[in-house]
Structure formats: C-alpha cells, structure tokens
Structure 1
Amino acid sequence: MDVSGSLWPVALRHGTLTLRPLRRGDRRAWEEQRAANRDWLTPWDATSPVPGAAPASFAQMVRWQHRQARAGTSYTWGMALDDDAPGRDRLIGLLSLGGVQHGSVMSGAVGYWIDRRQAGRGLTPTAVAMATDWAFHGLGLHRVEVNIRPENTASLRVAEKLGLREEGLRRAYLHVDGAWRDHLSFAVTAEEVPEGLLPRWLARREAAAGAAEPRDTAHTPGVAGDVPGPSGR
C-alpha cells in the first residue's frame, strides 16, 4: 500500500483501488450512486435523532469532513477505482475513520459503504484494511473497531474475511434508518497484526482462492471442497 504523506489530506492506494478525500467534483457521481443504491444503502445509513433535522448538502458534507480531518477527530475517504483515462478514477463508495481518540485510548471506528454494482470483489475488506493500517502506522492508534447491525450480513462478511475479533452486542448503539439500533462490535489492535491488516487479508484471500481452484484429481488425492472466494460489501 502506498501512503502519500502522514498528515491530512492523505491518499491510500493498493492496486487499482484508491482511498482519497472527497472533492467537490465528485458530487455528480455521489448523487448517481446514492440514487442507484437507495434500497441497498438506506437500511444502514446513520440518521439524526433530532426530529426535523435536514440532511446536509454534498458541499456541506465535504466541508464538514475536511474540518473534522484537520481537527484530527474523523477522516473520510472516497473509495475510487482507476478509470480508463490516465489520471482519472471512478468513485465507488465511502469509508471513514471516526471517533478518533488519543491519550490513553488511542482508538477509532471504521464505517463504510460501497456501490452495490462493485460488491463481491473484495474491495471493501481491502479498503478497511488499508485505512486500519494507516490508523496504526500513520496516526499511531492502538485499536480500530467496526460496528455492524446484526441484520447486515454483507458487512458481517467483511469483518469475517478480515478476521476481526468479535467483542459483543452494543444495545441501541447508533441511530440508523430512523431509530436507535443494536450493533455487533468487532475490533483489532496493532499488536494483533504486527505485519499489518492488509498483508494478512491479502494472504487469507490468496489462500482461499487457491483452495477453491479445481485440481487434477488423478494426481492429487483428497481434493478439498470449494472454498468461497472473497466477496462482501
């Protein structure tokens, strides 16, 4: 993973996938994706518990994200894939590292969504691993957590693929889709992945893909059954 600088704005890259701060020019792609993925995303969208609170415009959201990053409390990236045109990319989702605390806690929480048309390619686990490694090695955090509604099976698969440790159920933890919702909490500490979460994920992915490849049963006795390849939101 390439890391461009250690202070904000920072871009993280692995292969054709880049995490970069949102830009004003992303508005059209953002609005198209939110419209095309409304049914896919709405059940998991964080909402305001304040009655009548108006949603922020795209420009307001981007300004708020940059203010939070400069304050060191939250960092938000657009997930983007290389486009056919040199130097251009396509926005495919969003990932944030929020609730950043230093001092005796040294922790943060990752949240994310991806365009349904890009799901099932292992992009979300890769993005979460990239952001987690930056949190450990760029920010010096000790712990990163992911909180997922128990009904969100696609996101639970992301935590499973990455081998995150389950820590239990948090009752009425976040206001999501208009109500306070329970969430399962998963976490990883820097000591658990001294080599980095991204290298561990890539190794697990390669091993799963290798186990799923068909083999010549005439020369390889005891062939293992199919192992599902990487997928998930």
Structure 2
Amino acid sequence: MVVAVARYCASRVLRLVVTSLRTPRRVILVGRTSSGEPVILRPPRLSDASTWRAIRIADRSAIEPFWLTDERSWESRHRERVWIHEWLWSRAEAKADRIVRTVIEVGGRFAGQCDLWIQPHDKRGELSIWVDSRLSGRGIGAAAGRLIVGYAFDELDLARVTAPIDVDNVNSSRLVRGIGLVREGTMVSYLSVGGRRRDHDLWAVSAQSWERYPSAEL
C-alpha cells in the first residue's frame, strides 16, 4: 500500500499554513482486535514527528521495498520537517474531502498510520496502512483497516475501496484479505517502489459486498 510523499516546498507550505487556519473534519475511530485489545484511529499531531521518524527509520527494511521510489535518502525523507509539511498538506486535503489521514494508537502510543485517499468524483477510496513491526502479530493493522473501511462506507458513502499491493508483499495481502478485500487482478509494472518498477495486485471491496465481522488476528 503506497503513499506518495510530497517534496518540501516553502511556498507550498506557506499556502497550506493559511489554508490550515480552518479546521478539517476531526475523525476519531475506536475498535478492538480479535483478542480485545483497543485500537484508536486519531488525527496526526505535530508532536508525533519524532516518534514517527524513529519507527520509520527502524523499520526501513520492512517498509522501503514497498514504498514509492524517491531520489532522497530514507533518512532525509523522514526528517521532522517532512512530517510537519505532510501534516499541513493533509489538513488541506482533508478540507477538500480528498483524504482521511489517521494515526494508529495502541495503549496510548503511536503504532502506525492508516489513511484513506479519496476520489470524490467517483466515490472511491484507496487504503494505506503501516504498523510498527514491534507490534506485529496482534491484529492491529486488521482492526485499523476495518475501522477505516467501515467509515468509508458508513460515513463517507463511498462506493468502493481499493488497495494496490506489491505482488511480493505477502503480509499486506494477507491483511486486506482478512478484512474483506478481494484480489481482482494484477497490474503489470504499476508503480515504482523501492527503486524498481513492480507489478501490483489490485485488492478491492464494494459497499454492496462489505461485511462486518471481528478483525482477525494476523
């Protein structure tokens, strides 16, 4: 699952600062894993920057092979100013109903991110999830995914949610299958991730086929 990281641009940030004076819709979702562990999706905070950076740097080997190719180093892509820029940018996008960006919180700590990228004109959303590797195996990603997909259909009235996943990203494929998405096919040479042009499977679920059941522990 892929999230594009915008370049840091002073003029763009200035424009976003002005735009961000208006408050976007505040989304807080609460759920549980199959073992009963609480999982919260909340808006990102500027104070999350250092924790986000530390986790992403530590988990580079797990994330970078499936993340959008970028000419910058992994470290420079995760400077605190990048988090600040993305925070401002996502507020502006949220006001335009083009994104729901959330932090996954478990036990009061930053545990990852769960985003929904929205195409308002055709009522379609694209799912993106990553979770701190130290918390793997507890069903946290599945719980977060079900919360955001349920929100997409119940509150945003979207018709379809998709997730393009690298064909070698077994863990992500298993996660989305567990929350109800279906593999529809393979898109050849779809995205450049980790410095390589890669095939991606298209996973999707429609509002009509969406079923609610407790998130499986993955």
TM range (shorter): 0.7 to 0.9
Deviations 1:85-119 (A, max 9, x none): xxxx2001111111x1234x211110111111011
**Is 1:27 aligned with 2:49?**
yes
1:33-44 correspondence runs (5 A): 33-44=55-66
Change (3 A) 1:166 1:25: same
What percent identity do the matched residue pairs reach?
28
Aligned residue for 2:213, secondary structure, equals helix
Task: Tell me, in whole angstroms, the C-alpha distance in 2 between the residues paired with 1:142 and 1:201.
Answer: 22
1:192-211 correspondence runs (5 A): 192-193=209-210, 197=211, 199-202=212-215, 205=216
Cα distance, 1:27 vs structure 2: 1.0
Task: Tell me, in whole angstroms, the C-alpha distance in 1 between the residues paired with 2:72 and 2:131.
Answer: 27
- Give TM-score, length-normalised by structure 2: 0.78
Task: Tell me, in whole angstroms, the C-alpha distance in 1 between the residues paired with 2:72 and 2:105.
Answer: 33
Structure 2 unaligned runs (5+)?
1-23, 33-37
**Is 1:97 aligned with 2:116?**
yes
Change (3 A) 1:47 1:65: farther
**Is 1:148 aligned with 2:165?**
yes
How many aligned positions are there? 185
Cα distance, 1:151 vs structure 2: 0.4
Q: Match for residue 172 of structure 1?
A: 189
Aligned residue for 2:44, secondary structure, equals coil
User: Considering only aligned residues, what root-mean-square deviation do their CA atoms show, in Å?
Assistant: 1.9
Give the conservation status (yes or no) of the 8 Å contact 2:125–2:162. yes
Aligned residue for 2:190, secondary structure, equals strand
Aligned residue for 1:157, secondary structure, equals helix
Task: Tell me, in whole angstroms, the C-alpha distance in 1 between the residues paired with 2:119 and 2:83.
Answer: 26
1:11-160 correspondence runs (5 A): 11-15=28-32, 16-48=38-70, 55=77, 57-82=82-107, 89-98=108-117, 100-103=118-121, 105-160=122-177
- Give TM-score, length-normalised by structure 1: 0.73
Structure 1 unaligned runs (5+)?
1-6, 83-88, 206-229
Q: Match for residue 201 of structure 2?
A: 184
**Rg larger in 1 or in 2?**
1
Task: Tell me, in whole angstroms, the C-alpha distance in 1 between the residues paired with 2:72 and 2:83.
Answer: 19
Task: Tell me, in whole angstroms, the C-alpha distance in 2 between the residues paired with 1:58 and 1:101.
Answer: 23
Task: Tell me, in whole angstroms, the C-alpha distance in 2 between the residues paired with 1:77 and 1:180.
Answer: 28
